[in-house]
Structures are given as C-alpha cells and as structure tokens.
Structure 1
Amino acid sequence: MQEAAEVIVTQTGQAFSLKGQRVLVTGAAGGICAAVARACFDLGAEVLLTDIRSCEELSFALSRNGRPAPRLEVDIARVEAPEELARWAGEIDALVLGAGVYRPIDWDHDSFEEELALALDTNLKAPMRMARAFADRMATSGRGRIVLIGSVAALTGGTFPGVGPHYAVSKGGLHTLVRYLAARYTSASVLVNGVAPGTIDTPMLKDLDLRPALAKQPLKRAARPEEVAWPIAFLCSPAASFIAGAILDVNGGNYVRP
C-alpha cells in the first residue's frame, strides 16, 4: 500500500487510476457490486470478490484479461465472517460494502420479524463488523478507502410501495455508520463515504412494479448498475482524496437534499 504522503497526485490520469490497488467488494456476484468490481478492475485494481453466492462467473470473466480476481463465497451476516475475510484478503487499499438484502413486505406480514432480523443482520450489522475488521488495519498503514452502499430509501422512507420499514431503517443506520466511521478514521487518512442509489435495474427489483417510483423520477428510468458503480470507483480512487463522511446521491434527481 502507498504511504499517506503519496496519496496526493497532480495528474488527471493518475487521479482516477486504481493501478496497484487491492479492492475488496462484498455482494459481488451480481447487480451493482458486480459492476463495481468490473469498474475497479478496468481502472487497474486487483479485485477481490465475495458474496454468499458464487462469484465464479465474474472471477473467470475478469481473469481472462490476464489478472486474477480471487473470490470467496461467504455469508457476510455471520458474526465470524468479517474476520475470516480479513485473514483471506490480507492488506487491502479499498473496501466496498455492498452486500445487502431487500424483501418488499410491510410490517403486518407474517414473516416480518424474520425479514427484520435478516435486513438488520445483512444491511447494517455486517458492514459494521466489516469496518471493524478492516478500518484499524488501514489506519495503521496510513491510508484506505471504505465505501458503503446505502439507499435513497434512507432519505425518503421509501420511493415506491413495498419498501418496508425494515429496509429503510437498515439503510438509514448504514448512512449513520458512514458518518461515525468518517469521524473516527479520517484523521488516520482512512476516507469513509457512502452512496445512496435510487431505483436500479437489477435482479433484486425484477418482480416489482417500478412505475410509481419512475413516475416521480426526473429521468423517468431506472439506473444501469454501472451508473452507480462509476461513482463508487471514483470514491476508491485518489481523485476522491478530500472527500470524507459524504453520502453521494445517485438517484437521477429523485431526491434533492435541502
């Protein structure tokens, strides 16, 4: 890893390059985080992939370009998983925490208590434990990037019918975690930020009627996964060397902060 004094770059090409960086991406088997892995790989990073599902297809596709993309299948919600991943990954430069679950039910549903526990365990507790497993190591080295993927639902309470309180609250807590981590680690040159996507065209939403959400959105369409991945890759890069504690809105104008 680079020393803290080397983070500052002056050439545009270097500022956006991830060459020589090691980036660990959770939730990398599909959706936004698979696109994040591809974007970081294209910018020169060594990408480490993890998900509860197999990342073999993505790992193979990236490795065909001549650089390995190691993978490890693990349930991120297990209490022991973050330390296992830390031992497996070793020293990394950036950590993208995108593994999450979304189940469109309300609190009067028979399975709400189970879904509430799953949402909090996966969307909030797991990223907190991952940060605990990696942030101190980054601080010791004098630099690092952590990006947490939240949601516009944390800001609006939900953009379309079916966004239950379990999901919105888990993502709201994640946004608070961004601010907590930034306050704790920025002075050690570990820059922690978040991204709050809006409606994204991913398999997670394939069975939902998105028309109510898209009707309120100025761009009138869902985002492609790569349209969220590019800002995340930027936050991992030297170009974001003076950004800490921010929640970057990537929602097509659906939510504008006051």
Structure 2
Amino acid sequence: MKQKYALVTGGSRGIGKAIALKLANDHHYNIVLNYHSNTEAATAVKKEIEDTGVNCSLLKFDVSNLEETENALSGWELANPDAVIVVLINNAGVSKDGLFLWMKPEDWHSVINTSLTGFYNVTRPLLKNMLTGRYGRIINIVSLSGLKGNAGQVNYSAAKGAVVAATKALAQEVAQRKVTVNAVAPGFITSDMTTGLDEKELKKLVPLKRFGEAEEVADLVSFLASKKASYITGEVININGGLYS
C-alpha cells in the first residue's frame, strides 16, 4: 500500500503552516510542504511536522508558474514511487491591495495568477491519481473578500471569487469518484496577511469581537479532509466570527 500524503501550498507560515501541522497530528498524513522563497521558515516547519512522527517533503516552487509547478510535482512523484497525494490544500495566495483605478497591471496579474492560475497548475496534475484511486480531498482556501467583495481588493476578491466558482464546478465533475472539493473562506485571521490592519477597529465589526486564529481555520480544514466529511462537497464554509454569513 502506498504512503498517503497531503500537499499544502504556501505552507511555510500562517494558515498554511497550521493546516500542515493539523493534518499531520489529526490524520497522520505525511506532508508535502510547498513554499515559494523562505527556505529557513519552511525547514523549521518541516522539523515541527516530523516531530509528530510523519514524513515531510519540502517542495520549492511558484504555484503561478506552470512549468515550475509541473516539474516539481513530477520530480517528487518519480522520487517517491511508493507515495500518493490524496489530500490537496490550495492555500498559496498573495495580496496587492489598492484602489482599482490606480491598480498596476502587475498587481492584478500577480494576485490572479497565484490564487486562480495556481489552483489550476497544482490541482490538475494531482487529480488523475485521486480519480484512479477513487478517493481525494481538495480544499481551497478562499476569503471573505471573494464572497462579499472588499474595497481596495478588487484583484484579490476577483481571484478568490473565481476559485469559489471553480470549487463548485469541479466538485460536480469528480464526485462520482469519491473526490470531494470544498472551499474555506476565512475572515480576519491573525497572520502575516493581517499584520498591517487596524485590529482594534476592525474587530468591532465582528460579532465575536476578535480576530480568528490560524489553528481555528486548520481545525475546519482537518474536518473537511477527514472521512467524516464524505458527504460534503461543492461547499464554501465561512469562518469569520459572524462577520458575514
């Protein structure tokens, strides 16, 4: 029997790191940890994961680059013939906020290419094995911005909104093969992505009066990655303290 792995993109920090550790702890999945640039941080996370008793492979590639992504994934498969990725967490994303009127083309394309094209680049090559094995969990980390929109984030809202639609469509294509596709939409979560925000003011907008923690998002993802969630697919689950539901 092949060793089962979960791939987490953008896994060297924040929500991605919390998810990778949770999947290792809760389900004893071996982890393929993707990261873009911070080798030091990724190496530290790898050690934390391996301390739980599972294996962890580091894969450095830019999810927005098709050739780079395909080479990394095919190279890993060749090096690990007795392993198979059965859980995919599409977490990698960037934000380049600013008013749409003044938005530079590179800020538009960077955000769209990482979240939306990255979803395509990573998911498509892994899907065949999931369908052949008649089991898979694909979980896309989207955003409150992709559901309600957010001023100053037209690019980010567009990217995450598109992944929401892709989640619903792909879920219908692969359900017969027992592959589920869901999305998790965090609101304000304490992480690198929210360090520049005015938490004191923004948490007044949240009915629970606080920002969420990355570990709380990871708990939800862990459930969706489990066999207990076998009848949930094509869903977008909000985790935002009641800010938008």
Kept in 2, the 8 Å contact 1:49–1:71? The answer is yes
For 1:169, the aligned partner's letter is: A
Q: Quick check: 1:82–1:133 contact (8 Å CA) kept in 2?
A: no
Out of 15, 40, 44, the position equivalent to 1:57 is: 44
Could you list the per-position Cα deviations for residues 103-139 of structure 1 after superposition, in whole angstroms to 9, with x for gaps in the alignment? 2211133x52111000110011111222211112210
Contact 2:6 2:88 in 1 (8 A): yes
Answer whether contact 2:63 2:121 (CA < 8 A) is retained: no
Structure 1 CA distance for aligned equivalents of residues 23 and 158 of structure 2: 29
Q: Could you report, residue by residue, the CA deviation over 1:78-99 in whole angstroms, capped at 9, with x for unpaired residues?
A: 0213322432443211000000
**2:171–2:182 Cα contact (<8 Å) kept:** yes
2:119 is matched with 127
Give yes or no for contact 1:135–1:185 (8 Å, CA) kept in 2. Answer: no
Partner of 1:28 in structure 2? Answer: 11
Deviations 1:38-83 (A, max 9, x none): 1001111111100103211100222234432111111111021332
Q: Which runs of 5+ in 2 are unaligned?
A: 78-83
Judging changes above 3 Å, is the alpha-carbon distance between structure 1 residues 35 and 101 closer, same or farther for their aligned structure 2 residues? same
Structure with greater proportional helix content: 2
List, as ranges, runs of 4+ consecutive aligned residues in structure 1 with deviation greater than 6 Å.
none
Residue 105 of structure 2 corresponds to which residue in structure 1?
113
Give 2:134's match in structure 1, choosing from 130, 142, 160. Answer: 142
After superposition, the CA RMSD in angstroms is 1.7
How has the CA–CA distance of structure 1 residues 85 and 184 changed in structure 2, closer, same or farther, with 3 Å as cutoff? farther
Deviations 1:177-209 (A, max 9, x none): 101110111111111111011001001111222
Is 2:66 aligned against 1:79? Answer: yes
8 Å CA contact 1:29, 1:51 repeated in 2:
yes
* 2:119 alignment partner, SS class: helix
Q: 1:94 is matched with which residue?
A: 87
CA distance in 2, matches of 1:144, 1:32: 21
Q: Distance in 2 between matches of 1:50 and 1:196?
A: 21
Query: Which amino acid is the alignment partner of residue 166 of structure 1?
Result: N
Distance 2:127 2:181 in 1: 9
- Measure, in 1, the Cα distance between the counterparts of 2:172 and 2:241: 28
Instruction: Output the CA distance in 1 between the equivalents of 2:59 and 2:93.
Output: 17
C-alpha distance after superposition, 1:148-191 (max 9, x if no partner): 00001111112xx54x2001010000100101110111111111
Q: TM-score, with normalisation over the residues of structure 1?
A: 0.86
Q: Which runs of 5+ in 1 are unaligned?
A: 3-19
Which has the larger share of strand?
2
Q: Which amino acid aligns with 1:63?
A: E
